[in-house]
């Protein structure tokens, strides 16, 4: 059921916050012919409209296009690139990772001195990102600057791959899985007015959603995400948050939002009736575009539903196709019920 080809394109695409053009173009092409019109606003949000003349509550389907990454902020005399993080990334995940820089996707590696040269203290502690650098093989500053000007965005070089039956790894499943879900939902037939908001800059402050939802304010908004799955050996049971293989994740509350009680109960009722597995997000952490959308103008009823994903905000993540398919089925039936 999952459109794996689309998920692969989206996962491999360049889309660090503020530089979502490649992702936007893939989505625009994918939904062509299934919506009445699309537009790109001043922030770079992709907005697709369908059935806007229909009666009934206006429903927004929301997913963010951007991913965490890096941005070049310094070039030294030897051609090594300093960088800052874009979005939340654990410093321990950076050293030795391969990266792609800018529109031309110039390859590089995040460097660190060999263990033979490290002090005992350095060996025993993670290296802060401010002490790391990107090496593109440049001989000097002039050569590096010709290829990589200051402000160049950087993404992790991770190829989408099926590692066992129905189990996939790749980057940016937060939130390219949500983008794929919204794109596939737009191909369905719904009676309500539908506003699809593919937002930008979610990872650095939920920025795009505020602009998109202000222009096209819905009655009901459904944010679709890839969320934390912490079903790992070193995580205590009460902190596991969500688990792979147990279906879509329904948020009751996170750091910024309490979702609509009636809509959430309706969602659960549909899941039970259709025998679709589901789970609640157990850890009240993180935030989504629902926070911005919920408080827009006179207020919007929101729910947040996600595919559980291991290792989000890292160079490589993992999800199950069954969880994606069950999320799609649940949201499709939920929207039709409205």
Token duo for residue 68: 């965490």
Q: How many other CB atoms are found less than 10 A from the CB of residue 230? A: 19
Please give the positions annotated as active site. 202
CA atoms of 102 and 159, how far apart (whole Å): 17
CB 308 within 8 A of CB 323: yes
Q: Positive or negative, the Cα torsion across 245, 249, 27, 53?
A: positive
Peptide bond into 302 cis (omega under 30): no
Element containing residue 164 per DSSP (H, E): strand 161-164
Token duo for residue 233: 């050996």
Rounded to 10 degrees, the C-alpha dihedral 332/32/2/252 comes to: -40
Which residue is it, tokens 């750091």? Answer: 255
Contacts of 62 (CB under 8 A, 6+ apart): 178, 182, 196, 197, 198, 199, 209, 213, 221, 222, 223, 224, 289, 290, 293
Rounded to 5°, angle at Cα 319 from 7 and 247: 105
Token duo for residue 329: 């089925």
Rounded to 5°, angle at Cα 109 from 200 and 154: 15
């Amino acid at each position: 059921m999952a459109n794996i080809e689309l998920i692969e394109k989206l996962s491999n695409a360049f889309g660090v916050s503020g530089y979502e053009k490649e992702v936007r173009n893939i989505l625009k092409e994918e939904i062509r012919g299934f919506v009445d019109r699309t537009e790109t606003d001043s922030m770079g949000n992709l907005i697709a409209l369908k059935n806007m003349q229909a009666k009934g509550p206006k429903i927004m389907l929301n997913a963010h296009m951007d991913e965490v990454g890096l941005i070049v902020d310094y070039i030294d005399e030897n051609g090594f690139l300093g960088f800052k993080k874009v979005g939340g990334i654990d410093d321990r995940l950076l050293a030795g990772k391969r990266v792609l820089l800018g529109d031309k996707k110039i390859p590089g590696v995040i460097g660190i001195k060999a263990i033979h040269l490290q002090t005992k203290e350095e060996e025993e502690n993670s290296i802060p990102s401010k002490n790391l650098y990107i090496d593109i093989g440049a001989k000097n500053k002039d050569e590096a600057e010709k290829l990589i000007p200051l402000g160049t965005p950087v993404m992790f070089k991770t190829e989408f791959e099926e590692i066992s039956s129905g189990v996939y790894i790749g980057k940016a499943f937060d939130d390219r899985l949500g983008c794929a879900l919204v794109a596939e939902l737009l191909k369905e037939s719904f009676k309500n007015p539908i506003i699809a908001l593919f937002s930008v800059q979610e990872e650095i402050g939920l920025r795009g959603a505020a602009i998109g939802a202000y222009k096209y304010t819905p009655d009901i908004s459904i944010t679709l995400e890839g969320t934390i799955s912490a079903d790992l050996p070193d995580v205590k049971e009460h902190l596991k948050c969500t688990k792979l293989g147990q279906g879509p994740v329904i948020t009751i509350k996170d750091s910024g939002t309490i979702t609509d009680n009636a809509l959430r109960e309706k969602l659960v009722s549909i899941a039970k009736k259709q025998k679709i597995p589901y789970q609640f997000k157990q850890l009240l952490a993180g935030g989504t575009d629902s926070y911005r959308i919920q408080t827009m103008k006179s207020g919007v009823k929101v729910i947040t539903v996600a595919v559980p994903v291991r290792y989000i905000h890292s160079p490589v993540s993992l999800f199950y196709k069954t969880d994606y398919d069950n999320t799609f089925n649940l949201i499709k039936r939920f929207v039709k019920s409205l």
